[in-house]
Amino acid sequence: MNDKKLIFSGIQPTGTFTLGNYIGAVRNWGPLQDEYNCIYCVVDMHAITVRQDPAKLRQNTLNSYALLMACGIDPEKSILFIQSHVKTHAELNWILCCNTQFGELSRMTQFKDKSQKHPDDINAGLFTYPSLMAADILAYNADLVPVGVDQKQHLELARNVAQRFNQRYGDFFTVPEAYIPKVGAKVMSLQDPAKKMSKSDDNPNAVILILDDKDTIIRKFKRAVTDSEAEVVYREGKDGINNLMTIYSSVTGKDFAAIESEFAGKGYGDFKLAVGEAVADHLEPVRTEFARISQDKAFLKECYTAGAEKALKYSQRTLSKVYRKVGFVDAR
């Protein structure tokens, strides 16, 4: 590889991503490809920390892979692969688990949230999930990790684990930095703007899926919860409008001042319609590309097989060095 910095990020295979996934993370991944060495992955091993239907998981993983390509990730420019195809992630995870403290895992808000949501399945994988995420990142000694704000705590843990390992065994891992967008790092639910937009929301109107058709997108925005005023301005206490302005800004490139003057004297109805149309038009090429790419199963397979091969080769080098550092006997 060259001396460009290395980017790593991953996404869970929910099949179709939310507008939150897209604005907070995925849409930023494509443009980074020219400036950095990029490695992106569909994290199917993380997905099974909550119960999955196997057939659906398989389909969702393939769709997520195709969708990343439709969002502009080019497997010729980046290494794009499926996590379970690259065994080094699980192997490094074990070493990192032995360098992660029970106490720090207990503090993870996502663990607490998911335990509450699935009280009948608080499994060990759900608990140690952040160690696997650290392994994803550290296996490539990534410099930067482009994520939304909700992943910041996990990234902080990855940094701590890297530092702890370096102290115990001598400087080795790069301590990764989060790369969080200035606008759109936390897209909120359309029905409860105090809550993050999340695929697992029970109310489908709260979430825009990036493969939703134009009518659905507009309908969901029309129903978005706002406030009892009628002023399109970005201000504390106007969570719903702030969220819609953030979304509108990130798909049109207009700043908040421009948006405020565009909608001065107009009602929320006009604004919501404009946001819906702008989002739907922005996502149109993604939908079209996805329809095309997801048809071509042979091409997809070629891409993810090649991606996994490259990722394995790269991460195996890291893992072999880690094995030596911790004192394992060379296998050959």
Contact 8, 145 (CB under 8 A): yes
Active site residue 114: yes
Cβ proximity to ligand TYM: between 181 and 309 the closer is 181
List residues binding ligand TYM (CB under 6 A).
8-12, 20-21, 24-25, 43, 46, 133, 136-137, 145, 147-148, 150-151, 154, 185-187, 196-197
Among residues 142, 147, 12, which one has the least CA distance to residue 67? 12
> Smallest distance from the beta carbon of 27 to ligand TYM, in angstroms?
10
Distance CA 178, CA 25 (A): 11
| Identified catalytic residue from 77, 152, 186, 199 | 199
Active site residue 152: no
Beta bridge partners, 11, equal: 42
> Smallest distance from the beta carbon of 148 to ligand TYM, in angstroms?
2
Cβ proximity to ligand TYM: between 135 and 263 the closer is 135
Cβ proximity to ligand TYM: between 186 and 214 the closer is 186
Cβ proximity to ligand TYM: between 25 and 259 the closer is 25
> Smallest distance from the beta carbon of 251 to ligand TYM, in angstroms?
14
Active site residue 199: yes
Contact 319, 139 (CB under 8 A): yes
Burial environment of residue 254 by CB neighbours within 10 A (0 to 12, 13 to 18, 19 or more): middle
> Smallest distance from the beta carbon of 160 to ligand TYM, in angstroms?
15
Q: How far is CA 316 from CA 77, 86, 91, 176, 313, in A?
A: 21, 9, 10, 19, 5
Closest residue to ligand TYM, Cβ-based?
Answer: 24
Cβ proximity to ligand TYM: between 79 and 187 the closer is 187
Residue 156 one-letter amino acid? E
Residue 130 makes CB contacts below 8 A (sequence gap 6+) with 100, 105, 108, 111, 154, 157, 158
Contact 189, 197 (CB under 8 A): yes
Quote the strand ranges of 152-236, DSSP E.
177-179
Cβ proximity to ligand TYM: between 154 and 159 the closer is 154
> Smallest distance from the beta carbon of 49 to ligand TYM, in angstroms?
9
| Identified catalytic residue from 114, 220, 238, 272 | 114
Distance CA 81, CA 291 (A): 20
> Smallest distance from the beta carbon of 265 to ligand TYM, in angstroms?
30
Q: Which residues does the annotation mark as catalytic?
A: 114, 196, 199
